[in-house]
Amino acid sequence: MIAKYVPILNWGRRYSRDRFGRDLTAAVIVTIMLIPQSLAYALLAGLPPEVGLYASILPLLGYAIFGSSTSLAVGPVAVVSLMTAAAVGRIAAEGTADYASAAIVLALLSGGILALMGLFRLGFVANFLSHPVIAGFITASGLIIATSQLGGLLGIQTHGHAMPELVASIVEHLGQINLYTLAVGMASLAVLAWVRLDMKKRLSSWGVPSGIATFLVRAAPAVVVLAAIAASAVFDLGGKGVALVGQVPQGIPLLSIPNVSLDLITVLIGPAFIISIVGFVESISVAQTLAAKKRERIDPDQELVGLGAANIFSGLGSGYPVTGGFARSVVNHDAGAATPAAGIFTAIGIAVATLLLTPFLALLPKATLAATIVVAVLALVDFSILKKTFTYSKADFTAVATTLFVTLIFGVEMGISLGVAASILIFLYRTSKPHTAVVGRVPGTEHFRNVLRHDVETRPEIISLRVDESLYFANARFLEDVILEKVTANPDTRHVILVCPAVNTIDMSALESLEAINERLKDMGIVFHLTEVKGPVMDRLKRSDFFAHLTGQVFLSQHEAIDTLSKMRSDSRPDTPISTSS
Amino acid sequence: MIAKYVPILNWGRRYSRDRFGRDLTAAVIVTIMLIPQSLAYALLAGLPPEVGLYASILPLLGYAIFGSSTSLAVGPVAVVSLMTAAAVGRIAAEGTADYASAAIVLALLSGGILALMGLFRLGFVANFLSHPVIAGFITASGLIIATSQLGGLLGIQTHGHAMPELVASIVEHLGQINLYTLAVGMASLAVLAWVRLDMKKRLSSWGVPSGIATFLVRAAPAVVVLAAIAASAVFDLGGKGVALVGQVPQGIPLLSIPNVSLDLITVLIGPAFIISIVGFVESISVAQTLAAKKRERIDPDQELVGLGAANIFSGLGSGYPVTGGFARSVVNHDAGAATPAAGIFTAIGIAVATLLLTPFLALLPKATLAATIVVAVLALVDFSILKKTFTYSKADFTAVATTLFVTLIFGVEMGISLGVAASILIFLYRTSKPHTAVVGRVPGTEHFRNVLRHDVETRPEIISLRVDESLYFANARFLEDVILEKVTANPDTRHVILVCPAVNTIDMSALESLEAINERLKDMGIVFHLTEVKGPVMDRLKRSDFFAHLTGQVFLSQHEAIDTLSKMRSDSRPDTPISTSS
């Protein structure tokens, strides 16, 4: 029973030597890749670089115990780091003890929220973040992050977590550019960009085997960091005004208890919730994609528990909010990771590196880390979603554009909140005016089609209206309106038939609208019928007293309805010829 | 063209002597009914009673010019009066000039909002107020109003616009009950309750013709007011501590310009929006019900313009927010009103009554007006919606209960806002886990049914999954999850077919999920097909590059799909027998 919630008890029992070998290989590669990223993303979050390393040790253990993906590699990621900076920056100044402490509290809150959502199986909440909203948000975040790193590349101070403030602060301090910093920054940027865009192809053309080439590409950023440290020492860059990481505390904090106040929790709980949802959505899609490649399945609620544990462990180890990273998870998967044990070995690797690295970190120019970030996040920026949604659906385009624009101008929290609100309102608006069609019989068949699109038979005394949407509060009044409009436009009407094959639910509002329609039609001497009502919808209607008042009948098929009603009418008065609309 | 927006230009041209007679009769009856209501509702809104009369003159002219219902009678109503008190009470104390001025600004803002919504055809916004939310809100408002009038009936001070504060203030002042006030209040209450519940039956049993009996019942509240004034004069009730209406300014203010500040607008715009929507929803359902009885149609957007004009006119005439009232509109309709001119005649009637009445109003005990309100609003209180929704749908029950509870405890604005939020979230939650069914062929037919409910044929290598809901962001990930679950549970799977007859839309999120499903199935060596895709959905999919990547086909019917895929398979390897599930 407990194994259901603690996956390590399952895979741990079946662990084998072969799996150990694969996990260890993957861990070595991920460790080398994760070190420069951890340092850089901590800087982006406004935290000392070593905090990035802390956030890459314990969280990996937490996820390995409780997570369900065999490929996911958790740790600091770009977007969550930006969101952390935006949330924590509101209550303390960067570099203060309060700032670091608030980041820890944010990780603990986020972990608690994720774990509770998992235990209560509330993973569906993440569904309210539509793909267009996420795409717009990630692109805007990438742009903001890249802009925020310009300061580091140029050696000037910047502030703000949205475009207007960032750009203004860059322009304002443009006169203070440090040329040595600029040189280090541009050199790092050039090398890293070349590594990402061209190095593998070049190595292949030199005859380097593909496996080795891939490994070298992944190790290159770490080599750039080491080279920058060496250059810093040789040329005394610190003495020339280049900002360095500076003295870093030795050792790894394994258990920290931050100062928590109710005020702090009140301020951070909202951002923690948003960070949790965004982190979860990013992580689950990577995990599901990689799981499918192994024909495995990810349980979203268990993933919530896994990520929750990772964040709680991050907080306990002086880290900050983490989630599953896209690039490093793909690397982990490609390198052959077979179980979450790969994460445990990576954590050990980072811990060892932390102990060995800290003496040298003091000399690392911040501009090199800024270059690492810029190269990583530019991959996030993708405007094609604007074009794609513009062609596919104006509603989705509006949601993307709103999210993108608001995030750039007003920041991450406002952007994601308004994006979600916009996509919900757009959806409600769309379903509030559902597609409806008056239908008639295709001559000689039992099929009924839209009178506007097909050559079909109708009868002047019968209006058959098909509604292509579930009936619920947002379109209940619309339905009343459409039916009254059709009826007042056709004074011969004696029967109105609502054709319901696409009606998946009828909520209380729609039920009352149907009752109102029935009453109003009765006042006009018109009988109201339903056809092709689905089983579950019918079951529910039977629980109300709707059928006690319904003036007409419920027919299984539209064909049966027209058959019966045509006969009824011919009994009561002379028949009129069937009219054919085109 | 202009006549489209000014309906009076249409019906005015066809006005006739017969219509004049009917409209005049209706106007006389409505006027007699409206006078005590106007006085009482103004008191409920925290305004001097004469303001209720002002709000029953110009607004009726405004609606007669721009409104589209031939039966609707506008003016002060109970729920909007309570909402006005709640909104204005936050920024000024009752009885001050600022309070009266803010009520006027509220009417102008509300009128402006309604008119703009009508011109921009935004009537659909009212759809977000679901029937259960309205029902819960009206019942809670009725209870709050009745409780708030206890003070008037007992002769004690009360304050607050939600239950906890109201009840506390009543309990606190219980020792200050004035026995004369109590006597007047209870006497008025008893007579009015008898009038409403028993008078008509009694008159009929005495042989009074039905028409006269109905008229007498409707005139009775006005008679009670006159009797209370007489009693007040004869017994010097004012001298005995009974609260009287007091000196009232003579004349009718025909054009007032209130003090408007940007601050005031900022505070009132939110409440004005909520009042507009609630008033519109109340009014449009009355108008539509009565229109259907005459086989007429109401244009919701024109109704917005009509109600907007009524409120702007109300503000200009020193009134406060108004809307169409249920009881008086039914009376207007029953009395034979043929055109909106009935409203013009009612306005003239109220104006005349105002000029004649004001000298006597000073003597009217407030307890009589409180009794009028209590009798009127108890008709609003209806707990049956709780039982009805509980049987029909737990989701709707949750929305009613939330609205009712929050309105009672935290007041009208919070109640309606949380009610709307709850009904939207509940709807999204419900559609986020749509009904799905694996389907198989009913032997010997072309019909496909749920394998769990019917004896149908399936093939081990084909999973046919029917989804009974539109695919959009809230259920996109759910779909990915369901399909991966089915596939990992059935290792023989070679084909997955998504059966889409109930899919009315596929938004961008769902499209990307379908692409992800397609890719993941491809990684597993499984082909992905669609069947029975609706025309509009297909048109939209063709605008994307989905079909360029789809590994399988789109079949017109599920039958065709199974036919084709079964043959494909038997070509490639030896056939296995068809299995029959029960």
Looking at the fold, whether B492 and B380 belong to one and the same domain comes out as no
Alpha carbons within 13 A on the beta-carbon side of B118: 27
CB contact under 8 A, B428 and A424: yes
Nearest to B25 by CA among B431, B333, B276: B333
Alpha carbons within 13 A on the beta-carbon side of B193: 10
Nearest to A540 by CA among A568, A497, A505: A505
Residue A9 lies in a domain: no
Nearest to A433 among B124, B424, B432 (CB): B124
Looking at the fold, whether B384 and B516 belong to one and the same domain comes out as no
CA distance A397 to A385: 8
CA distance A572 to A526: 15
CB contact under 8 A, A516 and B289: yes
Residues of chain B with pLDDT under 70: 1, 569-582
Residues of chain A with pLDDT under 70: 1, 569-582
Q: What is residue B403's three-state secondary structure? A: helix
CB contact under 8 A, B434 and A504: yes
Two tokens, residue B416: 């309606």
Single out the residue in B377, B393, B424 at which a domain terminates: B424
CA distance B118 to A410: 31
CB contact under 8 A, A523 and B476: no
Residue from B122, B131, B286, B402 whose CB has the most chain A CBs within 10 Å, to mutate: B131
Tell me how far CA of residue B333 lies from CA of B222, B327, B343, in angstroms. 20, 10, 11
Largest alpha-carbon pair distance within chain B? 107
CB contact under 8 A, B432 and A127: yes
DSSP result, B8-48: HHHHTTT--HHHHHHHHHHHHHHHHHHHHHHHHHHHHTTS-
What is the end-to-end Cα distance of chain B in Å, rounded?
Answer: 65
CA distance A328 to A218: 10
Residue B430 lies in a domain: no
Residue A10 lies in a domain: no
Provide the number of structural domains found in chain B. Answer: 2
Q: What is residue B309's three-state secondary structure? A: helix
Residue B536 lies in a domain: yes
CB contact under 8 A, B131 and A424: no
| Each residue's pLDDT tens digit, A288-298 | 888 878 877 78
- Cβ-based neighbours of A144, under 8 Å, separated by 6 or more: A82, A161, A162, A163, A166, A407, A408, A412
Residue B551 lies in a domain: yes
Angle between helices A78-88 and A366-378 (to 10 degrees): 120
Nearest to B423 among A284, A473, A487 (CB): A473
Q: How close A127 comes to chain B (CA, Å)?
A: 5
Residue B238 contacts residue B229 (beta carbons within 8 Å): no
Nearest to A114 by CA among A67, A166, A50: A67
Looking at the fold, whether A153 and A289 belong to one and the same domain comes out as yes
Helices (H) and strands (E) in chain B, counts: 25, 10
Nearest to A227 by CA among A261, A192, A262: A192
Dihedral angle at the C-alpha atoms of B360, B366, B369, B371, nearest 10 degrees?
A: -140
Residue from B303, B417, B431, B504 whose CB has the most chain A CBs within 10 Å, to mutate: B504
**What local confidence, expressed as pLDDT, does residue A380 receive?**
85
Nearest to B50 by CA among B58, B60, B59, B40: B40
CA distance B371 to B227: 14
Looking at the fold, whether B419 and B482 belong to one and the same domain comes out as no
Two tokens, residue B237: 């009730």
CA distance A391 to A397: 8
* Total Cβ atoms within 10 A of residue B489: 10
Nearest to A508 among B392, B469, B473 (CB): B392
CB contact under 8 A, B507 and A476: no
* Total Cβ atoms within 10 A of residue B146: 20
Nearest to B504 among A131, A469, A478 (CB): A469
Residue A1 lies in a domain: no
Residue B138 contacts residue B281 (beta carbons within 8 Å): no
Contacts of B396 in chain A (CB under 8 A): 507-509
Give the start-end residues of each E strand in B391-548: 436-441, 448-450, 456-458, 462-467, 495-499, 527-531
- Exposed/middle/buried for B182, CB within 10 Å: 0-12, 13-18, 19+? middle
Looking at the fold, whether A419 and A489 belong to one and the same domain comes out as no
Angle between helices A262-293 and A412-432 (to 10 degrees): 60
CA distance A339 to B531: 38
Nearest-5° Cα angle at A26, A23 to A29: 150
**What local confidence, expressed as pLDDT, does residue B485 receive?**
87
The alpha-carbon radius of gyration of chain A (Å, integer) is 31
Nearest to A427 among B126, B472, B481 (CB): B472
Tell me how far CA of residue B133 lies from CA of A291, B130, B242, B420, B429, in angstroms. 43, 5, 39, 7, 17
Looking at the fold, whether B340 and B369 belong to one and the same domain comes out as yes
**What local confidence, expressed as pLDDT, does residue A16 receive?**
87
Nearest CA in chain B to A293: B523
Nearest to B124 among A429, A521, A544 (CB): A429
Looking at the fold, whether B456 and B552 belong to one and the same domain comes out as yes
CB contact under 8 A, A300 and B481: yes
Query: Bridge partners of B471?
Result: B506
Single out the residue in A370, A403, A424 at which a domain terminates: A424
Nearest-5° Cα angle at B138, B134 to B140: 115
Task: Give the pairing type, strands B527-531 and B554-555.
Answer: parallel
Give the start-end residues of each E strand in B280-360: 323-324
Residue A358 contacts residue A50 (beta carbons within 8 Å): yes
Looking at the fold, whether B350 and B472 belong to one and the same domain comes out as no
Looking at the fold, whether B376 and B497 belong to one and the same domain comes out as no
Nearest CA in chain B to A475: B127
Residue B49 lies in a domain: yes
Nearest CA in chain A to B400: A508
Residue A517 contacts residue A480 (beta carbons within 8 Å): yes
Nearest to B131 among A300, A423, A473 (CB): A473
- Cβ-based neighbours of B235, under 8 Å, separated by 6 or more: none
Q: What is the number of CB-based contacts under 8 A between chain A and chain B?
A: 202
Contacts of B288 in chain A (CB under 8 A): 480, 484, 516, 520
- Token match 């909202």: residue? A270
Contacts of B480 in chain A (CB under 8 A): 288
Residue A9 contacts residue A3 (beta carbons within 8 Å): yes
* Total Cβ atoms within 10 A of residue B338: 20
Q: What is residue B530's three-state secondary structure? A: strand
Query: Bridge partners of A306?
Result: none
Largest alpha-carbon pair distance within chain A? 107
Looking at the fold, whether B331 and B447 belong to one and the same domain comes out as no
CA distance B357 to A456: 66
Sign, Cα dihedral of A87, A91, A96, A101: negative
CATH of the domain at B449: 3.30.750.24
Single out the residue in A424, A458, A484 at which a domain terminates: A424
Looking at the fold, whether A479 and A412 belong to one and the same domain comes out as no
Task: Give the pairing type, strands B448-450 and B495-499.
Answer: unpaired
Two tokens, residue A379: 């991959």
Q: How close A305 comes to chain B (CA, Å)?
A: 17
Nearest CA in chain B to A526: B295
Residue B365 lies in a domain: yes
Q: What is the pTM of this model?
A: 0.77
Looking at the fold, whether A407 and A452 belong to one and the same domain comes out as no
Nearest to A47 by CA among A10, A3, A5, A95: A95
| Each residue's pLDDT tens digit, B512-558 | 899 999 998 998 899 999 998 988 899 999 999 999 999 999 998 88
Nearest CA in chain A to B396: A508
CA distance B46 to B50: 12
Q: How close A155 comes to chain B (CA, Å)?
A: 41
Please give the residue range of the domain that contains residue B461: 436-581
What is the end-to-end Cα distance of chain A in Å, rounded?
Answer: 65
Residue B459: left (phi > 0), alpha (psi -120 to 50), or beta? beta
| Each residue's pLDDT tens digit, B6-48 | 888 888 888 888 889 889 988 988 998 888 889 999 999 999 9
ipTM computed for the complex: 0.77
Backbone angles phi, psi at A497, to 5 degrees: -115, 125
**What local confidence, expressed as pLDDT, does residue B250 receive?**
77
Residue B491 contacts residue B466 (beta carbons within 8 Å): no
